[in-house]
Amino acid sequence: MSTNRTISRRKLMGYAWVGAGIIVMGELIFGTLAFLWPRKRESKGEKVLIAGKVSDFKVNEVVYFRKERVFIEKTDEGFLAFSAVCTHLNCVVHWNEILKKFECPCHGAKFNRYGEVLEGPPPRPLDLYKIQIVEEKLVIDTGAPVERKKFDPSQMVKD
């Protein structure tokens, strides 16, 4: 015994429209909820850069980690980890090894080796990331940039 079940083209199109409508409504509802729901702030430890061994860094050297947009500088007094994001309008700064300054290509800002504003419109120094030294390795908490008003030697992490 066989059954010959057929469905009209009109009915098939009706089902397709209902299915598409359900998908669109679902996306609207979930999209709206996702937009309205408070976002979880990234906190300490959620994003971490293991930058290498302390002994890998030379004094007065600035090393850039492109993916994380982090500069790490080693001085006689210790380490600093800067965000490469300009505090004016979020362009990415670069390190000028000859002039020993961070420079922003967007509006000409310049920052000294401690991230302090030398010239240009940024309202504050480059943000810092917290550094921990764990088993001789530099561990940078890139999930929580720290804003500051000025450089202070206490911001350096001794090795």
> Which residues of this protein are in contact with ligand FES, per CB under 6 A?
86, 88-89, 91, 104, 106-107, 109, 120-122
Which is nearer to ligand FES, 24 or 118 (by Cβ)? Answer: 118
Question: How far apart are alpha carbons 51 and 61 in whole angstroms?
Answer: 14
Cβ at position 151, least distance to ligand FES in Å = 18
Angle at 131 between CA 127 and CA 137, to 5 degrees: 140
CB of 108 to ligand FES, least distance (A): 6
Give min distance, CB of 143 to ligand FES, in A.
22
Is residue 96 a contact partner of residue 109, using CB atoms and an 8 Å limit? no
* Residue 127: Cβ within 10 Å count: 18
Of 53 and 107, which CB lies nearer to ligand FES in the complex structure?
Answer: 107
